[in-house]
């Protein structure tokens, strides 16, 4: 009995002591999140787009299965690949395929969450077309299941809540692009694995260009612009690139950029979409004629400057420098419409070394093969073709309709043939008493 108070005091003392709480603490989730992101990036949820030659066969096979309700020997992947064909631009409105389209919409509404549902999100994104009925129907069906979509699409739906609102999604996606320093990487990071080719991104691209266009005189806007069009870790944009390049050139329609910027812009354009003087396809058919001519003038100036630089490096003669000044002054007066270069062997090697890091460098200029150490500058001035060369080579003038006139943008030129076929030529005589040299006056008279 005497031990009771003592034991009670001991219990009370223990209870009165602050004991540390032993809660389980969850480990940091950053590493798990990074691992998940890495996995999704390495194995993106891309749908397998069938080859064009297989699409009709896949489509008709699905039509047969839907009409006869036969589902032997078919995988979910094949069903999704068939959906790509059914909803592509060629087949999405075909009346005979209406049962197949209805089948897919019904399956979206009733199928359990998983590969099929997630795959159809990809079909919706890839086939997206503003105002199209198939886009609205897919958006309506998928929007009702958005809470059940897999983790691969969760970041996309969180970043772009309007994903299944066809009118709002493109401008909202364009805003994401405009708010990012690197639009291409930004779209990949939210789950659009092929930003340039998906229908949704194509729709956003138009708004992106329209909103960015007024600011393209600013370096920051141009950086964002080119990171989208020519991403460092992705392909060059082709579909829709024409209007984008037009928007870029439009900034300089009525003003002249600094020489360094002009050269940078022209180099980036032809590196990505080829030289319009040599390639008629790509973005150039239908390109704004005035803006194309603006680019050609830039390339003309660049060719002339490059020719002068390489000739100066490849020879010690003092004879070229005053002729260089005359031709560049004539260009600055707006009189030289086009220019092309044909280098001698030595000058060609120097030119190639200067352009070794640029794409298509071998087609940036021609070669003069008949006279050693002679380089040619071939120009169009109105309805005349003018050929000048370094050293003591005469200036030759042809009418553009003369069958013997050398053509611009050729890969090889024969200076002897040009000299022998010319009926109008002038040696480079100088006169200290005249403002213009004798040959300069002669050029002014004949062009």
* Residue 89, domain member (yes or no): yes
User: How many domains are there within the chain?
Assistant: 3
CA distances from 41 to 53, 139, 147 (A): 29, 25, 22
SS3 129: coil
Determine, yes or no, domain membership for 321: no
Does residue 172 form part of some domain? Answer: yes
Same domain, 278 and 184: yes
- The DSSP result for 47-66, as a single string, is --PPPHHHHHHHHHHHHHHH
| Same domain membership, residue 354 and residue 279 | no
Residue 193 sits in the same domain as residue 124: no
Domain that holds residue 265: 168-287
Task: Check whether residue 189 and residue 259 sit in a common domain.
Answer: yes
Give the sign of the dihedral formed by CA 145, CA 146, CA 149, CA 153. positive
Q: Are residues 82 and 156 in the same domain?
A: yes
Tell me whether residue 313 is in a domain: no
Of 271, 287, 303, the position where a domain reaches its end is: 287
- Are 189 and 283 members of one domain? yes
Q: Which residues contact 81 (CB under 8 A, 6 or more apart)?
A: 47, 48, 49, 50, 58
Interatomic CA distance for residues 135 and 165, integer angstroms: 10
Phi/psi at 397 (5° precision): -125, 130
Residue 206 and residue 136 in one domain: no
**Is there a single domain that holds both residue 154 and residue 65?**
yes
Asked whether residue 126 is domain-assigned, the answer is yes
In a domain, 101, yes or no: yes
User: DSSP assignment of 266-322, as one string?
Assistant: HHHHHHHH--TTT--STT-TT--HHHHHHHHHHHHHHHHHHHHHHHHHH---SSHHH
Asked whether residue 148 falls in the same domain as residue 209, the answer is no
Claim to verify: residue 150 and residue 209 sit in the same structural domain? no
Provide the token pair at 319. Answer: 């004879």
**Is residue 35 included in any domain, yes or no?**
no
Kindly give the confidence (pLDDT) of every residue in the chain, 447 residues in length, as a single tens digit, with 9 standing for 90 and above.
444 445 445 434 444 454 444 444 444 545 544 444 443 444 344 567 899 999 999 999 999 999 999 999 999 999 999 999 999 999 999 999 999 999 999 999 999 999 999 999 999 999 999 999 999 999 999 999 999 998 778 899 999 999 999 999 999 999 999 999 999 999 999 999 889 999 999 999 999 999 999 999 999 999 999 999 999 999 999 999 999 999 999 999 999 899 899 999 999 999 999 999 999 899 999 999 999 999 999 999 888 888 888 887 776 666 677 788 899 999 989 899 999 999 998 888 888 887 765 555 667 889 999 998 899 999 999 999 999 998 889 999 999 999 999 999 999 999 999 999 999 999 987 665 556 688 899 999 999
Same domain, 96 and 133: yes
Last residue of a domain, one of 166, 196, 224: 166
- Distance, CA of 220 to CA of 216 (rounded, Å): 8
Asked if 142 and 205 sit in the same domain, the reply is: no
Q: What is the pLDDT of residue 12?
A: 45
Instruction: Tell whether 427 is covered by a domain.
Output: yes
Q: What pLDDT does 37 receive?
A: 44
Residues 153, 157, 160, 161: what is their CA dihedral angle, to the nearest 10 degrees?
160
Residue 323, pLDDT score: 82
User: According to the model, what pLDDT value does residue 352 have?
Assistant: 83
């Amino acid at each position: 009995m005497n031990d009771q108070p003592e034991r009670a005091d001991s219990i009370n003392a223990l209870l009165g002591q602050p004991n540390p709480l032993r809660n389980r603490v969850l480990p940091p989730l950053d590493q798990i999140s990074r691992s998940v992101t890495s996995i999704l990036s390495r194995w993106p949820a891309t749908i397998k787009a069938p080859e064009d030659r297989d699409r009709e066969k896949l489509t008709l096979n699905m039509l047969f299965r839907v009409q006869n309700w036969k589902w032997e020997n078919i995988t979910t992947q094949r069903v999704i690949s068939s959906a790509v064909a059914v909803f592509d631009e060629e087949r999405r409105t075909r009346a005979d395929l209406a049962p197949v389209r209805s089948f897919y919409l019904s399956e979206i509404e009733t199928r359990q969450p998983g590969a099929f549902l997630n795959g159809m999100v990809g079909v919706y994104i890839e086939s997206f077309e503003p105002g199209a009925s198939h886009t609205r129907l897919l958006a309506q069906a998928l929007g009702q299941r958005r809470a059940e979509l897999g983790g691969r699409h969760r970041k996309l739906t969180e970043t772009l809540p309007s994903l299944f609102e066809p009118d709002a999604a493109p401008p909202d996606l364009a805003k994401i692009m405009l708010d990012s320093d690197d639009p291409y990487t930004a779209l990949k990071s939210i789950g659009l694995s092929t930003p340039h080719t998906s229908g949704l991104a194509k729709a956003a691209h138009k708004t992106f260009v329209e909103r960015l266009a007024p600011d393209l005189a600013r370096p920051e806007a141009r950086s964002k612009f080119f990171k989208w069009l020519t991403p460092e870790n992705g392909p060059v944009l082709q579909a829709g690139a024409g209007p984008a390049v037009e928007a870029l050139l439009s900034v300089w329609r009525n003003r002249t950029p600094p020489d360094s910027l002009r050269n940078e812009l022209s180099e980036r354009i032809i590196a990505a979409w080829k030289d319009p003087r040599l390639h008629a396809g790509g973005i150039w058919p239908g390109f704004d004629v005035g803006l194309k001519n603006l680019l050609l003038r830039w390339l003309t100036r660049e060719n002339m400057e490059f020719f002068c630089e390489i000739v100066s490096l490849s020879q010690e003669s003092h004879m070229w420098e005053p002729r260089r000044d005359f031709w560049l002054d004539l260009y600055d007066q707006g009189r030289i419409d086009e220019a092309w270069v044909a280098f001698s062997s030595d000058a060609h090697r120097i030119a190639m070394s200067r352009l070794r890091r640029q794409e298509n460098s071998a087609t940036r200029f021609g070669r003069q093969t008949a006279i050693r150490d002679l380089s040619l500058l071939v120009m169009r001035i109105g309805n005349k073709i003018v050929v000048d060369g370094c050293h003591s080579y005469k200036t030759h003038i042809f009418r553009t309709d003369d069958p013997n006139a050398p053509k611009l943008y050729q890969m090889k030129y024969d200076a002897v043939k040009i000299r022998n076929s010319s009926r109008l030529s002038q040696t480079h005589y100088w006169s200290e008493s005249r403002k213009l040299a004798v040959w300069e006056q002669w050029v002014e008279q004949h062009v």
